[in-house]
Chain A
């Protein structure tokens, strides 16, 4: 055997096992669904023999769904044609996302950081002469809040929610005129994910986050809110990473929130409430990868829906949307199933996009936050 051959033989002998694809029973079905739904390459292939360039195809035949896409301009849903196989189920896709997280980086750091942008539509009602809120909206505007969450892993470090900017835009020229008639009120607050923040000065501003809440003070405002319940960083860190135990903990939170309105202790949360809790934890709370994987497994056991193909969030990123049937507010969680990373949430009210949050960045770091001068 020549030495030339031996070098290649040596390479073959040390071929890493990691070159083999990881076990994934859903891979074939997923590939088939993706392949079968991609009828129209974005640009026509020149030739198909190996070694000659082709042009990237579109994965899905793009069909704009009715109300949601027309109103929101955000969701472009892919829909395979009738003869094509069904795409993977919501459960299978969520389990794949959980697996991706499990197999991804498990590194943590000194801080968990998330860069979020929330846009919401606001009906400004003003105040009456006696200081009470008015009953008729004076004008409407969209408010976009850009914020960064710096949640410390250790209680020795301070945690911060930093509001970088708030941008208010009246929706129409009539709204603009009404705004001026009302005295052109300035920015007094914003909404970041599901938490309303009052601002006494123009941003940027940093808000210190508490790790714990004294007994009897659970209603004190804090960040984040998980399914309508304020949770502190210590409470989030104490959530179990086992899916069954995690679901039980989420049920307990929901029961605690709703006891005063007649829920029975021990009652399980309805699907829409759990979906909301999971989305809140994934998007706005410092959850390590193992807990994020558990959250996807909790979702996978629920009767929820997924988009038939991919959707595009407001930043143009592709993902899969999940939602439950929950009545008036239709909240969609958009996830990149390949990485398990949440991309966005979108809430629709009567079919109209009302609020959306995009996760611009999320992850652990050992860097220190750069804080604005204005701190609360």
Chain B
């Protein structure tokens, strides 16, 4: 959950978001699910949405990702698919927030597609569509060609 907050508002603000989220979870502890991560991320998402203006949020995390890219070590074997870690972080920083969020929920925060759909408040098919578009844009930023064969393959972005 802290990691999710970092990827939405940057590390300087993440502690505050985590604190607020746990305060809510404590008060509503009787309804917190047994596997609470997705629920907590959903609460954190609302905390962020209420407390941080969109533009400020975008600036915070774009700056953070770019700074990480500048200081990140070289990537490992799996990262060979894309250029390198630096490029991936810069590519994520360049994405619209809605694209970045769906990729991070699945790639960094360990949620299943169903959990991610719950967090984002959308249906599973909508999540699939969002993921497809986000992935395609990321690949484009990385300078590669997406081989996705989703419903919009070869079409124009929304």
Contact = CB atoms under 8 A, between A and B. Distances in A.
Contacts of B20: 56-57, 59
B23 A50 contact: no
B26 A35 contact: yes
A105 to B, nearest CB: 9
A36 B89 CA distance: 38
Contacts of B42: 49-51
B133 to A, nearest CB: 12
Interface stretch (A15-23, A129-137, A144-152, A218-226): A15-23
A6 interface: yes
Interface residues of B, number: 57
B126 interface: no
Contact residues of B: prevailing secondary structure: helix
14 contacts: A6-B78, A10-B78, A12-B78, A12-B108, A13-B79, A14-B79, A14-B89, A15-B107, A30-B19, A32-B26, A34-B23, A51-B121, A56-B51, A57-B24
Contacts of A104: 12
Contacts of A8: 103, 106-107
Contact of B11 (A18, A48, A59): A18
A308 to B, nearest CB: 16
Contact of B2 (A19, A38, A50, A339): A19
Contact of B27 (A30, A35, A52): A35
A338 B108 contact: no
Interface string B9-39: 0011011101110111111100100000011
Interface residues of A, number: 42
Interface in A1-59: 3-4, 6-16, 18-21, 27, 30-32, 34-36, 38-39, 41, 45, 48-57, 59
Interface of B: 2-3, 6-7, 11-12, 14-16, 18-20, 22-28, 31, 38-39, 41-43, 45-47, 49-51, 68, 72, 75-79, 81-82, 85, 88-89, 103-104, 106-108, 118-121, 135, 138-139, 147-148
A51 B118 contact: yes
A3 B3 CA distance: 25
B51 A13 contact: no
Given A14-B79, A34-B23, A53-B49, A19 B106 contact: no
Q: Which of A14, A32, A38 has the most CB of B within 10 A?
A: A14
Contacts of A338: 15-16
Contacts of B24: 35, 54, 57
A31 B78 contact: no
A3 B31 CA distance: 38
B26 A11 contact: no
Contacts of B68: 16, 18
